[in-house]
Structure 1
Amino acid sequence: MAVVALGTAAAPAAFADDASPSPKGPLPSGLYGKKDPQFDGVFRQSYALLAQKTVGVTPAVKAVDWLTGQQCASGGFAAYRADASEPCNSKTQVDSNSTAAAIQALHAVGNESSAVKKSLDWLKSVQNQDGGWGYNPGLPSDANSTGIVVGALAAVGEKPASVKSQKGKSPLDALTKLAMDCGKDGGAFGLADAKSGKLAPNADATAAGVLGGLGQGLVPVKGKKADAAPKCAKPDTAGQAAANGTGYLLKSLAKTGHLTSAMPGAKDQPDVGNTADAVVALAAAGQQEQAEKSGEWLSENSAAWAKENGPAAYAQLVFASLAAGMDARDFGGADLVKQLNAQGPTPKAVSEVTVGAEEKDEKKDDDGSGVSVWWIVGVGLVAGAGIGFLLSGRKKKNQL
């Protein structure tokens, strides 16, 4: 996986070199978002449905049906299939990220067990020998893809430590290999450079790696409150790798409350999407103070970004608001739930009760990994500068 210089998570802006921001033809009535779904249709739909269920909204039947209809006979999902009536073939680019995100959403709606099982079986069939996953089958494992699959496994009650490759490696093993040293790399999770293949510290990969190492996904669950920033040590377990990554995020956010990124040739700018991801990761790691500070920054600075980037961005902010202990229906004066619902077909039902992040006591799961796990519904994490759009960027770089 390569270093991708994208801005934030969930948006068409990151697709500037790939596609027009507007679709070439009419979009399906069940699909969320109005921009070209070529690279992120399944992903943004999954995020939207999962976020809705998290805050008490029952999605429209046709929205769920559209997502289910995108599944290939193998169980895998591609980013988008314009004509889902045509069977998938060897040219259909099924990927781990779209598939893992769809599992989270379909499991959350509660009535798609057959589709979920097929997708889980497909993911297991394309697991790399090191225990992880790349974006597409056959690509090297990366923290983002491995993290989102961990979230899918956790959502359905499977323990990632028990999902092993033919060589006996689990996704937790893969995450330890994707974690970097404490010295110059600060304990971050790495993203592989396209030219050299070497890992470089990356905030997006780190947020994903922290959640994966803790056995969590995108739906916020607060971990046991930490007394201080974790000490960095050799990442010989997924739990320690997650602790190291937590420290890296804390240092990165300490000064301004947000992460930064830069497009090639541009000045550094606030990275809204990765900041939202970091809030969820820090809450999971028990670092609630910084999660709340960064959540406040998001509430004051995310409106334009979310409007531009659509359903996945609104969903990401819903998750971040709950992780920060804030009200998703009054986030800096904005009703994120209402804004998300307006991105697609009218929901079947809407509850006025805002669901906050559930707080769990830390429990050790005796699986030999040394990882504290709270199995919940959720997705791993794949967002950086625009949720589905980061996916596109990673995919392109991986294929170089």
Structure 2
Amino acid sequence: MNVRRSAAALAVAVAALGTAAAPAAFAADASPSPAGPLPSGLYGKKDPQFDGVFRQSYALLALKTSGVTPAAKAVDWLTGQQCASGGFAAYRADANEPCGSKTQVDSNSTAAAVQALAALGGKQDTVKKALGWLKSVQNQDGGWGYNPGLPSDANSTGIVVGAFAAAGEKPAAVQSQEGKAPEDALTKLAMDCGKGGGAFGLADAKSGKLAPNADATAAGVLGGLGQGLVLDEKARKEAGKADGAPECAKPDDAAQAARNGTGYLLKSLARTGHLTSAMPGADDQPDVGNTADAVVALAAAGQQEQAEKSAKWLSENSAAWAKDSGPAAYAQLILAARAAGMDARDFGGANLVDQLTAQGPKPEATDAGDEAEKKDGKDDGSGVSVWWIVGVGLVAGVGIGILFSGRKKKNQL
């Protein structure tokens, strides 16, 4: 729902501003080093300016679901990033300074933080305040844009739906002043079965028109199903195992839009098991991050067979990407492995949990009852996830302080 949180969500923001970023903005490593010392509780070693809260939230969420109790200072750093309004910005170097009118609070960072803190428990006041902020910036169509006031997009709406679901609230009950719920926005962001192939669309930066987008579709499917980044096992069992690909039909409601989006992802993954990037000015290449997002979405939709196939591809092809991208990438892979029923501690021979743990402060505790925890894992570095770097380039290109859900990638849009 990648989320993110996503370069995809940012592209919608760019389109809303009527500005297109130049291909040169998509640097592979736009800001590799931080300007100064990083907080000891923060995961990753690279500049957190554009992804601090997001990568921290993903890391904490993935570790918690893997039986690891993160260090208190890692959790405290995240809660300390919250503004008095309840919203979270991508990163605040000095959390003692109050948020002002120039603080770019955003829906993706806030929703990611909610999902992490809800899973960790004991932070009800912080979660409640963040949900209140999200409700206050809901668009009249029922959805959310990356920043308050921007048009709704599937990436942002999807990850916010996941936040309410993770906190135990019913997303359908979260309605705008005009009585519109998130599902209303997602239905309008779903494309038809002809030209759009049933995908959820991402607004083109030049024309503003929706175009099929895999990452937006993965986020839209999760949102349409009312699921967060960590799948609700009870809901998934009730949904059952899907019997073949769903038939595409007019997306009159969010449930049908999610079915259509599921079919789009199945077709996109059928031949190779992975998604392919469509980065302007670059050769097509496997899109690891979006594939991980798609695995979670397909598992939520009951498409376990394809989810497992794509997760296996990830286990064989994601090591270099994760090493280059850092904490949020390892977290994405852990969530995908979990969704597909695979062992994150033996993912293609890699112990993703150990690798993620090594990117931050020593955890408070680890589930010693898990035999897989005894397997060796190697620290293979840390850094800003690459799909956030895309957002960094876009921000530089348009001169606005907004970013990718993230659910947000070097190899994707």
TM-score (ref. length: structure 2)? 0.84
Which of 256, 263, 274 matches 1:240? Answer: 256
In structure 2, how many angstroms separate the alpha carbons of the residues matched to 1:355 and 1:100? 33
Task: Indicate the residue corresponding to 2:146 in structure 1.
Answer: 135
- Is 1:178 matched with 2:194? no
Task: Indicate the residue corresponding to 2:406 in structure 1.
Answer: none
Structure 1 position 16, deviation (Å):
2.7
In structure 2, how many angstroms separate the alpha carbons of the residues matched to 1:214 and 1:159? 11
What aligned pairs does 1:11-160 form with structure 2 within 5 A after superposition? 16=27, 19-160=30-171
After TM superposition, the structure 1 stretch with the greater mean CA deviation from structure 2, 193-202 or 241-250, is 193-202
Structure 1 position 264, deviation (Å):
2.8
Structure 1 position 388, deviation (Å):
3.8
SS at match of 1:74: coil
- Gaps in structure 2 of 5+ consecutive residues: 1-8, 14-23, 373-384, 403-413
In structure 2, how many angstroms separate the alpha carbons of the residues matched to 1:139 and 1:353? 47
Identity %: 80
- Is 1:315 matched with 2:334? no
Structure 1 position 266, deviation (Å):
1.9
After TM superposition, the structure 1 stretch with the greater mean CA deviation from structure 2, 95-104 or 344-353, is 344-353
Structure 1 position 339, deviation (Å):
0.4
In structure 2, how many angstroms separate the alpha carbons of the residues matched to 1:85 and 1:3? 32
In structure 1, how many angstroms separate the alpha carbons of the residues matched to 2:180 and 2:100? 30
Task: Indicate the residue corresponding to 2:310 in structure 1.
Answer: 294
Structure 1 position 196, deviation (Å):
1.0
TM-score (ref. length: structure 1)? 0.87
- Is 1:345 matched with 2:373? no
Structure 1 residues 352 and 281: CA distance shift in structure 2, 3 A:
farther
What aligned pairs does 1:352-363 form with structure 2 within 5 A after superposition? 352=368
Structure 1 position 392, deviation (Å):
4.7
Structure 1 residues 248 and 393: CA distance shift in structure 2, 3 A:
farther
In structure 2, how many angstroms separate the alpha carbons of the residues matched to 1:392 and 1:142? 19
More helix by share: 2
SS at match of 1:233: coil
- Gaps in structure 1 of 5+ consecutive residues: 5-12, 357-384
Which of 287, 292, 296 matches 1:276? Answer: 292
After TM superposition, the structure 1 stretch with the greater mean CA deviation from structure 2, 45-54 or 215-224, is 215-224
What aligned pairs does 1:160-171 form with structure 2 within 5 A after superposition? 160-171=171-182
After TM superposition, the structure 1 stretch with the greater mean CA deviation from structure 2, 346-355 or 97-106, is 346-355
Structure 1 position 290, deviation (Å):
0.4
User: Can you list the C-alpha shifts for 1:74-122, whole angstroms capped at 9, x where unaligned?
Assistant: 0000000011111000000000000000111111111111111111100
SS at match of 2:248: coil
After TM superposition, the structure 1 stretch with the greater mean CA deviation from structure 2, 62-71 or 214-223, is 214-223
Q: Would you say the 8 A contact 2:26–2:394 is kept in 1? A: no
Provide the alpha-carbon RMSD of the alignment. 2.4
Structure 1 residues 34 and 14: CA distance shift in structure 2, 3 A:
farther
In structure 2, how many angstroms separate the alpha carbons of the residues matched to 1:210 and 1:398? 31
Structure 1 residues 307 and 93: CA distance shift in structure 2, 3 A:
same
